[in-house]
Amino acid sequence: MYDNYYLIIGILIIISVLVKEKKEDNFLIRFIKKYRIILLIIMFIMALFLYTYKLDLVPIGLNVDEAGMAYDAYSMAHYGVDRFLYKNPVYFINYGDGQNALYTYITSLLLRVFDYKLLTIRIPAVIFGLLTLLFGYKLIKENKDDITAIITLFVMLITPFFIMKSRWALESYLFLPMLIISLYFFMNATKTSKNIYYFLAGSLLGITLYTYAISYVVIFVFVIVSILYLLIQKKITIKNIISFSIPLFILALPLILLLLINNNIIPNEIKTNIISIPKLLNYRGGDLSFANIKYNLSNYHILTVMFKDDGCSWNSISNYGTLYSISSLLVVFGLVISLSNLIKNKKEYIIDLPIFIIFITMFLLSLCISNVNINKINCIYLPITYYIALALSYIYRKSCSIGIVITCLYLGLFISFTKYYFNDFDNEIKDRIHFVSQDFYKAYEFAKEKSQDVKIINIDEKNIVQPYIYILLKEKTNPYEFNKNMTIKGNKILKYNNYNFYIEDMNNREIYITKYKYDIGMKCKRFGAYNVYYLDTNIFF
């Protein structure tokens, strides 16, 4: 099926290149220009629907990263500390290897007003999904043209990556929208040379550092290359650089200290009543390594992850990919057009330059990431989407009929994807150990009823990743009580109160929640994928 798509798009691209360009706009371009406002309103209404429809049901259940973020946000909202009693940490310890802070702090503000619900913690994802579209459109409109901007918005609206990332509370997915917003203000700064825009751009890039650790490298390269280029072209002043650098450095400083602490350059973590910079239980400094390049290049693994499937069903669906299979050739075509623009305007800081810096930096980084997946490289979808839009904009201008054919192909895939995603997608992930559904909580409530005299409830961590976090979140546990009554070994929570999360030997005087089937002389009640093993309490009398 994919080979047919590649062939069709390849032929259409070749034909569009050979078609003689007309001096006047064709029907498709005139239509977009004439009805631009109406198209914008329709697309944003569609986006709101796509991001909120069945938001608490799709994806089904609560992801382990959502749960970790949510409990820390709850603790921050009601107790002013995270689960390990750090006040205002710049980076959350989470399950030992850290979690980026921005999403958690935003969610904690919501949880001060609203009760905890799955819907509540996914609202920031929806908001930033809409901001991605808004600032993505404004960025291209003000630095390219209306047609390319509308097409960019269209691609972002209908492709699986942008829909799926905006519907669950993964903190690293804030990297892309924050980068787009930051770039929008940075481009305004370069065009106006106003210090206020440079200050805002520096501040926003500083905040972006709190979305994902990969951003440290991407932003560093982007800033250094951009500032040097603008200096060489004499398009930036020392006052501009100072206005930009001061807020960026102030916001980056806590994270610089975090890196120094966790690389043992600074011996002790920093804990104050104002800010905390923790020592992680399991520092993942080895996630970036040149040793990963060979594997990520083998069998085009990185391209498979980028365009099709990373093995995580909540990030992508292999039958549709991240941007649909028809997009990959358009990306290559758009990249060629963009590089041509750079060559023609080599003395100007046009939008193609920062986007190319982000693209090449993130692509090279992606080759070095262990267990690379879509959320780890999510910022690369800004340049990729831009290149698709450039290619389509070129085709639309050259041939109305080819533009309509490709648009119809996209719309057909979009309809097929949304029908599957909102109706059948739960079959993809309902049995995955990284998501917990309501069936688990039904099993948990039943186990609590049966545990009045049997004090220990065992929850099998082989079936559920980090099972303790779901108990803390369900019971809205005071983090001080959690720290007082937990047993931790390394970065693993073994026990909390009467909950045991690491089952070694089973006996018939305790209660077990597990997906496995056992024959241990106990009663078993099933809740979806979960079994509760128990004995009636009257056998002990």
Lowest-pLDDT range of 167-171, 241-245, 451-455: 451-455
Does the CA dihedral 490-495-501-502 come out positive or negative? positive
What is the Rg, in whole angstroms, of the alpha carbon atoms belonging to the chain?
26
Burial class (CB in 10 A: 0-12, 13-18, 19+), 503: middle
CB 91 within 8 A of CB 255: yes
d(CA 57, CA 423): 10
Query: Among candidates 395, 337, 410, 358, which has minimal Cα distance to 157?
Result: 410
| Mean pLDDT (whole number) for 89-101 | 96
What local confidence, expressed as pLDDT, does residue 2 receive?
Answer: 53
Say how many C-beta atoms besides its own lie within 10 A of residue 336's C-beta.
Answer: 14
Domain boundaries, the chain: 2-50+61-427, 437-540
Q: How confident is the model at residue 427 (pLDDT cuts 50, 70, 90)?
A: confident
What local confidence, expressed as pLDDT, does residue 298 receive?
Answer: 92
Q: Tell me: pLDDT of 122 over 90.
A: yes
* 48 compared with 509, residue with greater pLDDT: 48
| Mean pLDDT (whole number) for 428-452 | 83
What local confidence, expressed as pLDDT, does residue 541 receive?
Answer: 33
Mean pLDDT of the chain: 93
pLDDT digits (tens, 9 = 90+) for 214-225: 999 999 999 999
Helices (H) and strands (E) in the chain, counts: 22, 11
Does the CA dihedral 207-208-214-216 come out positive or negative? negative
Q: Tell me: pLDDT of 245 over 80.
A: yes
428-432, Cβ contacts within 8 angstroms, sequence gap of 24 or more: 428/313, 428/317, 429/59, 429/60, 429/61, 429/313, 429/314, 430/60, 430/61, 430/529, 431/529, 432/313
CB 224 within 8 A of CB 372: no
How do strand 457-459 and strand 499-500 relate by DSSP bridges? Answer: parallel
Cα torsion at 454, 70, 373, 204 (round to 10°)? -160
List Cα–Cα distances, 376 to 102, 176, 212, 359, 369, in angstroms.
16, 11, 8, 14, 8
SS3 253: helix
| Mean pLDDT (whole number) for 432-449 | 88
Query: Where on the phi/psi map is residue 488: left (φ > 0), alpha (ψ -120 to 50), or beta?
Result: beta
| Mean pLDDT (whole number) for 261-268 | 95
State the first-to-last Cα distance of the chain, in angstroms, to the nearest integer.
66
Residue whose structure tokens are 């280029």: 229
pLDDT digits (tens, 9 = 90+) for 163-210: 999 999 999 999 999 999 999 999 999 999 999 999 999 999 999 999
List Cα–Cα distances, 115 to 55, 76, 111, 129, in angstroms.
16, 14, 6, 23
pLDDT digits (tens, 9 = 90+) for 29-69: 999 999 999 999 999 999 999 999 999 999 988 999 999 99
| Mean pLDDT (whole number) for 415-428 | 90
Q: Tell me: pLDDT of 3 over 60.
A: no
CB 531 within 8 A of CB 514: yes
| Mean pLDDT (whole number) for 93-101 | 95
What local confidence, expressed as pLDDT, does residue 539 receive?
Answer: 44
pLDDT digits (tens, 9 = 90+) for 269-303: 999 999 999 999 888 776 889 999 999 999 889 99
Distance of CA 469 to the CA centre of its chain: 21
Q: Which helix (H) or strand (E) holds 347?
A: none
